[in-house]
Every structure is written in structure tokens, then in C-alpha cells.
Structure 1
Amino acid sequence: MKRVLGIGLSLVLTLGLLSGCGGTKAPAGDSNAGGNAAAVFKIGATGPLTGGAAIYGNAAKQGAQIAVDEINAQGGIQFELKYEDDEHDAEKAVNAYNNLKDWGMQISLGSVTSTPAVATSAETFKDRIFALTPSASAPAVLEGKDNVYQMCFADPNQGSASAQYIVDKKLGTKIAIIYKNDDVYSKGIYNTFVSKAKELNLAIVSTTTFTEDSQTDFSVQLADAKKKGADLIFLPMYYTPASLIFQQAKSMSYSPKYFGVDGMDGILTLENFDVSLAEGVMLLTPFNADATDERTVNFVKKYKDLYKETPNQFAADGYDCVYAYKKALEAAGCTPDMSAADICEKLVKVFPTISFDGLTGEKMTWAATGEVSKSPKGMVIKKGAYVGMD
């Protein structure tokens, strides 16, 4: 009896020693696999997964998931990705962020859209969790925060680059602007566009606005642009109000050129939208799903196979964020058993030193203030697809 008891105790001790040797490695290709924090880096993010801006949140999430699965399948560094729905609302985004913190988030993809990201970036700064947002472009997301970075163009860059592009390509001589005056994204781009237009002597003949509560009727704004002879309308906004502008302009027999920004990306997949209304719409974006390089072709094929649609820029930015994290974590010598705060301090030092090639740009670099440096691409919609202008 004593011998049997001794064998049992030995077995218990052996199992105990084995269980203390470290975390279980997450299976390759399964970003939601179990195991403890020593096995994987936990990436958390918030985005609009439901509601009017859901196309952006789901695209970023799905692009990031493809990158996570690819990296995990390689058998080296491992990630676990978790997105929480913020419905494009700042208060809900903070609640979602706190849920992610309770889950054990070590690094963050921030928030997808700018208004929630301003709120959650303040939390990541306070908690010392490094954040790399795929698409929240407002300057306030970064201001005063050494551990918050952007994969997308900042709003000031989009505004000034758009004005420069319109002048360089001689796209219009009399410009109207319609922007959303209660949205930090739209206002930020508008302000820098106007400043650059003045510098370039680009004539702005009409400036009108709208709000969240008035974004269904654009008859006044379009009438003003038409009356003042605008041959191009600049639209620093998301695709939903833009789609209504295209419809209402057609109904009043007004057919100016349109120039948008990255928030316009996704309009071709808007449910029940007549894509012929977007024919000829131009925008600056860092990603072209029709590009023929191997990296883009493979990503687009995987995305279409998994999600039955063409990826937009937000999907590509989400994908690039995860790969940029992989490069930075390896360069910094980070390991998954480190605390979020320790990882943060290492990434703060490393991110401004790396150069990164991705779907949305080659040789991308970051300033210590978090802004990315990469070149935008001019795109125009033709026959329901994006076509390069350069």
C-alpha cells in the first residue's frame, strides 16, 4: 500500500513540475487558441463592428486576423487577437477598452475611427499600453502621447496632400467643400486642405457643412456649390454621407468632379448603393486592391476567399499593423511573458528606428510623435473598381 501511495505522489509531483515549465504554445493559425499569457502576445482593439461605420471596423479586424493567422502558422512569434465593438462611440469605446484590459491585452490596435480613438488613446497612455491604430487619423489621437502610433495618414497630411494633388493634376479650378463640422476626422482634413489651398492659390468658391443629425439632406450644400460654379467638390468624410451627396447631385442634374479621402474607401461595397453614381470619384489612398505585386495579390485572394468581398484600405492597414508589430517586437527583444508596461517602453524606443514594407507602403517609417511616413496613391473609380491615377 505504501508503495502504491509513493508512486501516486511521485506522479503528482512530476505533473506539477511539468505544468510549471511555461505556457502552452498556441496552435499555428489559431489566433484565439488557449494557453496562458506566456505563450502569445495578446493584441486588443476596438472598432465599429455594428452600426453605420461597421464596414471600417470589420475590415480592419478581418485584415488583422489574416495577418495573425499567417504569422501564427509560421511557428515563431504568436499572437492572439481580440476586437470589441465600440459602435463608433467614444464612451462605448472606453468600456470596450476596459474589457480588453481585463482580458489581459498587452499591445493594442487602438480604435478604428478617430472619435473613439481620441478617448481610448488617452487610456492607453495612462495605462502604458502601446497602441498602433490602423486608421484613426485625427492628430488628437497622438498629441501628448509617446506610446500611440498611426498606420494611416494623419488628417493634416490627407488635407494638404489632397490640395497638392488637385493642383498638380489640374483636376479643378473652382472648388467646393462639404465637411462634417461635428467630426474630428472631417474637420481636421478640412482645416489643412484650406490652408494648403490658400498657399497654392486654389480657388475655394463654396464651403458648407453638416452634422450627425443633418446628414440626410444635402440640397442646400449642393445648390450653393452649383450656383457658384464649382467644378470639383472636395469631400473630407466617410462614404455614407458621400453616397447620398452623389445621389442628390444627380437628381438636381449637377455633375461636378468629386475628390475624397480614405474614409471614402468602402463605398463600392455599401449595401444597395448604385456604384455607377461613384463613377469618376477620385481619392487618395495608400492601398490598391488591383495592384499586381505578389504581396497584394495574395492578400486580396485570401480576403476574398474568407469574406467574399474585395478588401479596402482599412483591411490592408489592419494587416500591416500586425506585421509591423511583429517586426518591432522582434527588434525590441520582447517576449510574451513581459508585462504590457515593459513591452510598451521597449516599443516606444524601437518604433522610430524601424523601416517597414507592407501592403500600404514601402519603406514606411515613424516619427517619435507617432506619425507614419509613406506615399499616398491617387485612385479613381471606373466601372465599379479602383484604378490608379499615377
Structure 2
Amino acid sequence: MTESLKDFAILLFIFVVLFACGGKEPEVLPGKVEGTVSIGIEVPFEEPLKEYGFMMLAAARMKVKEVNEARGIAGIHVELMEWEDVCEGPGIVQKARGLANEPGLLVLIGHLCANSLTRSRPIYESKGLPVITPAITHMLATSDDSDCMFSMIYNDVMYVERMASYLKVSGASDAALREDGTQEGVALIYEESRWGYFSKEVFLKEARRVELKVSEIRLYDPNRPDSMESILDALRRSGSKRIFLATSAYSTALVALTSKQIRWNPIITGSDSLLWSEMTRLAGNAAEGIILCFPFFIENRSEELKKFQNRFQKITKRRPSWIAAITYDAVGLGI
């Protein structure tokens, strides 16, 4: 394909996306600086999600720099506009209104927090602002009933379903068989929260479909952390060897720590929602061995990935995380 045809294809893609979301032609959407187009990114700047924000922002800046060094979009310079993703508080809606009315904003990359995206989404949609979320899996934030909302990874339903399927397949191994040759069941611990009930129902539905035996179901109240020991002790005495957690990252850390305290070593599994830095920070070495669904395999040795890793490390002096890689691709799609 010639350079002129590539440029035409890029502009045509932008035109189609904008009109699908009720936007305008890119020619009348200049960036804040004359001769530019603008894309936005919204990431956390503060703890406990600061590390994720750093990775996302560094990857976005790197991608925009590469695009501009390669003539931009059909010769037009790309401007990256940066905002903080505030996960909680009354300012979420007000910020979304200001962002959605930002002159010249072509597309938004973000958020990281499901709560802020869920509350901001109706405003973005009303203004026809396309949003690409690199890492949010929550169904309320990423459901596919919108022409303007795009997700880079699977949603929560898919992650939970895949873990149920994994437990079914892994349960056929010798290590998961009882002495009489029957398959070892899986214990389910779910948290007393909207997420906990949702994940429990998805897991049980998929378990029935794949004929995975769920041997125990236990409810955990996060307001009573002292109850975790009795829950795990009961599962240990029942002979359970594998657990699926429909819990928060904090509760998962508690499961890992408490299991170690009572000298029990079950196979602990869960969805990607447990994969937050707070879980590993709180659990420490007790987190070793937890099996989680993961949206990106950083050890993949493709040449393209090697180049990305090398460039990222050269710029930041840090090894890129999965969220950096997905954000890099999200910005590329947005541009």
C-alpha cells in the first residue's frame, strides 16, 4: 500500500468512528495547538494505583512520540492530553463533562477505575466521544451496547468462565483425583458484595456447563475479616484442595495469608480482578502459587514484543507491565 493510500485509510477510519459516535469530521476538530489533532488519556496519578498510571502514561507517550516521528496522522502532529482518573468522589461527573466538551479531542484512552468510567460513560456517549479502555473488565463499564465504547481485553464474565474451564481440565490430572478415581471438587468462596454475587453466579453457571463439581460454597463478609480462618479451616477439614475466589484483591490476600497461618496449601484460583498490586503487597510471599487469568503474557518472545520492551525500558528504565503493553496498543488504535 502506498503512503498516500495509508494516509487515506487512516483518515477514513477516524471519519467512520467519529460519525458512528455522533462526532464530526476530523478537519473541524483541530487540537489545541494549530496543525495538530488531540487524543486524551485518563489514568490514576495517586496511590494505590499510581504504578498502573505510570505504566499507562509512559506507554501512551511512547506511542504518540513514535507516531509523530513517523509523520503523525497523514502529516498532522498528534497531541496527547493527560488527565487524572479519580476513582471515587463527587468530582467524577463534573470532570467527565469538562473532558467530553474539550475542543478538538478525537478519542479518549482510559480509565483504569471501573467506577469512574461507569459514571462518566453516559456523558461521553451523549457527546459522541469514542473511548478505548485498555484494562477495565467490569461489565457495567464495558458492556457492548454502545457504538462509542471499546475494550481491549475480555470482560469479567469471560475471565470467570475460563477459570472454571481451566479447573475442569486441570481436575482431570492425577493430582486432582481422589483415591477412588473420582474428580476432586472445587470450593467456592464468594464475597458479600455486588462483585462477589455476580462472580459466584457466573462461575456456577459455567461449572454446570462443563460439569465441574463445586463441592463447597462459602460466603465471606469483608466486614468480618476474623471469620476467614473458620471458613478456611472448615474447607480444609472437608478435604478441599482447590478454591475459586469470587472476592476482592484485599480478601484474596487474606485468604493467602490465613491459609499459610493454618498450614494449609490449597490451590487458590481467581479471575484477573485479583491481580492488583495491593493483593501482592499485602499477601507477600503467601501470594506465591495463586493461579489467575491474565490478559497479557509478557514472556512472549515475538520480535515485535521484544522491540516494544526494549524501547520502553530504554525510556523509563523500567520493565513494562501487561497494562503498559495494552495501553500502547490502545493508543495506536485510537490514533
Bin for the TM-score computed over the shorter chain = 0.7 to 0.9
Q: Distance in 2 between matches of 1:304 and 1:268?
A: 24
> Deviation at 1:70?
2.3
Identity of aligned residues (%): 18
The equivalent of 1:301 in structure 2 is 310
Per the alignment, do residues 160 and 120 of structure 1 end up closer, same or farther by CA in structure 2, a change over 3 Å counting? same
1:74 paired to 2:70: yes
Q: Distance in 1 between matches of 2:91 and 2:227?
A: 28
Q: Distance in 2 between matches of 1:280 and 1:313?
A: 19
Deviations 1:135-186 (A, max 9, x none): 22122222542211111101111111111122123275322233444354x5
Per the alignment, do residues 216 and 62 of structure 1 end up closer, same or farther by CA in structure 2, a change over 3 Å counting? farther
- Give SS of 1:106's match: strand
Q: Distance in 1 between matches of 2:60 and 2:261?
A: 40
Q: Distance in 1 between matches of 2:200 and 2:225?
A: 17
The equivalent of 1:132 in structure 2 is 132
Richer in helix (by share): 2
The equivalent of 1:339 in structure 2 is none
- Give SS of 2:306's match: helix
Give the counterpart letter for 2:207 in structure 1: A
Per the alignment, do residues 180 and 60 of structure 1 end up closer, same or farther by CA in structure 2, a change over 3 Å counting? farther
Give the counterpart letter for 2:160 in structure 1: G
Q: Distance in 2 between matches of 1:92 and 1:255?
A: 44
1:197 paired to 2:207: yes
> Deviation at 1:248?
2.0
Deviations 1:64-109 (A, max 9, x none): 3332222222222243333433342264433332343354333112
1:234 paired to 2:244: yes
The equivalent of 1:263 in structure 2 is 273
User: Structure 1 length as normaliser, TM-score?
Assistant: 0.64
> Which of 175, 183, 186 pairs up with 2:186?
175
Per the alignment, do residues 291 and 90 of structure 1 end up closer, same or farther by CA in structure 2, a change over 3 Å counting? farther
Deviations 1:4-26 (A, max 9, x none): xxxxxxxxxxxxxxxxxx99x99
- Give SS of 1:285's match: coil
Give the counterpart letter for 2:203 in structure 1: F
Q: Distance in 2 between matches of 1:314 and 1:236?
A: 22
Tell me, which stretches of 5 or more residues in structure 1 are unaligned? 1-21, 27-33, 327-390
Q: Distance in 2 between matches of 1:75 and 1:214?
A: 58
The equivalent of 2:326 in structure 1 is 317
Q: Distance in 1 between matches of 2:89 and 2:68?
A: 32
2:100 and 2:129 in contact (8 A); partners too: no
- Give SS of 1:286's match: coil
Deviations 1:265-306 (A, max 9, x none): 4549955763x3232222222311122112222223333444
Alignment of 1:268-287 (within 5 A): 270-271=280-281, 274=284, 276-287=285-296
Q: Distance in 1 between matches of 2:226 and 2:97?
A: 34
- Give SS of 1:302's match: helix
Count of aligned residue pairs for this structure pair: 292
Q: Distance in 2 between matches of 1:55 and 1:187?
A: 29
Tell me, which stretches of 5 or more residues in structure 2 are unaligned? 1-26, 177-183
Give the counterpart letter for 1:280 in structure 2: G
User: Structure 2 length as normaliser, TM-score?
Assistant: 0.74
1:206 and 1:225 in contact (8 A); partners too: no
- Give SS of 1:160's match: helix
1:136 and 1:150 in contact (8 A); partners too: yes
Q: Distance in 2 between matches of 1:217 and 1:106?
A: 50
Per the alignment, do residues 199 and 272 of structure 1 end up closer, same or farther by CA in structure 2, a change over 3 Å counting? closer
Q: CA RMSD in A?
A: 3.2
- Give SS of 1:40's match: strand
Q: Distance in 2 between matches of 1:187 and 1:80?
A: 43
Per the alignment, do residues 242 and 229 of structure 1 end up closer, same or farther by CA in structure 2, a change over 3 Å counting? same
The equivalent of 1:148 in structure 2 is 149
Per the alignment, do residues 248 and 72 of structure 1 end up closer, same or farther by CA in structure 2, a change over 3 Å counting? farther
Q: Name segments (4+ residues, structure 1) moved above 6 Å.
A: none
Q: Distance in 2 between matches of 1:56 and 1:220?
A: 34
Q: Distance in 1 between matches of 2:256 and 2:247?
A: 13
> Deviation at 1:126?
1.6
The equivalent of 2:19 in structure 1 is none
Q: Distance in 2 between matches of 1:187 and 1:84?
A: 33
Q: Which stretch shows the higher mean deviation, 227-236 or 148-157?
A: 227-236
Give the counterpart letter for 1:245 in structure 2: V
